[in-house]
Amino acid sequence: MAPRYINKLQDQRVLIIGASTGIGFAVAEAAIEHGAHVTLSSSNQEKINNAIQKLEAHVKENQLPPRTISGAVCDLANPSTLEDNIKNLLEFATKDGKIDHIVFTAGDSYQMPTVENVTVEDISKAGMVRVTGGVILAKHLPKYINQSDNSSLTITGSTTYIRPKAGWSVINAANGSMEPLTRALAVDLQPVRVNCVLPGFIKTELFDSFPQEAVPFMFEAMKKEALLDRVGTAAETAEAYLYFMKAAFTTGTSAVVDGGRLIANNQEGRKA
């Protein structure tokens, strides 16, 4: 009898949007280890090329069977070109056959104004990538994905809207919409399954954009909010996406990967 569990992604086609770094890259690496062929996408061709090189090296170093690893640029931040860019990406990703799984980890900028300084234009931009991009992707998806409950779309939310920080009202307007969007798309796209991953504080290249002298203090503050007393990793978060790709009876739901942040209360009750 063939293995029931370890080969579920063998020769599956996986498209990962937001895959050049961070969580998306970790998902790509994990999918490849599980036997999938992957297409990477982000808004920067150079980063895509670097990611492909790293993944090809990973396959060689670990003596994995050959995998098809490709990539294409898709800019989701410009509303005038967003729909055409998504259609072009889907055409590229299906040139050798329809997609089995899509993972959407692309996110909006966290450099958003506070509620005291926000403008109408700022609000319209807040969910351009995650919300607008996700909905337009879903609009065109049926043509490009295998219509089966073995196929899936996994989108990415955030735990910040549940326990928000001061000044995050604008970006959390988008973050808070991802779980309701997940449930609605699960109905609209059936039998394709739709689920959502809600990461907590995860160490990724995102922090390279912050003043480096401040990063250790940021991580220390983040650690204090989690029961596990540390910041998560992209590889740990990738496990949730693998689960949703494999679990063929799971749709319309969310997985939290936050080290216990949502149930922590300033570390009260934590064991010494």
Q: What percent of the chain has pLDDT over 70?
A: 93
Distance (Å, whole) CA 173 – CA 4: 41
DSSP assignment of 108-154: --S-PPPTTT--HHHHHHHTIIIIIHHHHHHHHGGGTB--STT-EEE
Q: Which residue has the higher pLDDT, 21 or 206?
A: 21
pLDDT at 122: 79
pLDDT digits (tens, 9 = 90+) for 111-122: 677 888 888 887
Q: Which of 3, 57, 14, 7 is nearest to 35 (CA)?
A: 7
Share of the chain above pLDDT 90, in %: 69
**How would residue 209 be classed by pLDDT, with cut points 50, 70 and 90?**
low
Q: Residue 194 in contact with residue 186, Cβ under 8 Å?
A: yes
Which range is least confidently modeled, 67-71, 148-152, 216-220, 257-261?
Answer: 216-220
pLDDT in tens, 10-60: 999 999 999 999 999 999 999 999 999 999 999 999 999 999 999 999 999
Distance CA 110, CA 107 (A): 9
pLDDT of 92 over the 90 cut: yes
Q: Looking at the predicted structure, is the pLDDT value of residue 272 above 50?
A: no
Distance CA(133)–CA(48), nearest Å, equals 19
Structure-block tokens of residue 39: 């297409």
Contact 204, 23 (CB under 8 A): yes
Measured N-to-C along each axis, helices 45-61 and 22-33 cross at an angle, to the nearest 10 degrees, of 30
With residue 82 as reference, give the H or E element that holds it: helix 82-93
- Give the domains, in start order, of the chain with CATH numbers: 13-257 (3.40.50.720)
Calpha distance 243→236 (Å, rounded):
12
Eight-class DSSP state of 266: T
**What is the average per-residue pLDDT within 233-257?**
97
Average pLDDT, the chain: 90
Cα 181 to Cα 60, 154, 222: the distances in Å are 39, 11, 27
Asked if the model's pLDDT at residue 206 lies above 90, the reply is: no
pLDDT in the model for residue 221 = 82
| DSSP per-residue codes, 142-207 | GGTB--STT-EEEEE--STTTSPPTT-HHHHHHHTTHHHHHHHHHHHTTTSEEEEEEE-SEE-GGG
Kindly state the average pLDDT of the residues 195-214. Answer: 81
Q: How far is CA 90 from CA 62, 68, 164, in A?
A: 30, 16, 34
Name the more confident of 114 and 110: 114
| CA distances (Å), origin 73, targets 35, 119, 143, 252 | 24, 30, 20, 28
**Per-residue pLDDT band at 124 (split at 50, 70, 90):** confident
What is the token pair recorded at 167? Answer: 């000044």
> Where residue 180 falls among pLDDT bands split at 50, 70, 90?
very high
Average pLDDT of span 192-203: 95
Helix (H, G, I), strand (E, B) or coil at 8: coil
Amino acid 210: pLDDT: 67
Rounded Cα distance, 187 and 191, in Å: 8
Angle between helices 133-140 and 178-188 (to 10 degrees): 10
Of 87-101, 137-151, 203-217, which range is least confident?
Answer: 203-217
Which DSSP state fits 64? P
How far is residue 103 from each of residues 13, 14, 64, 230, measured CA to CA in Å? 11, 8, 22, 26
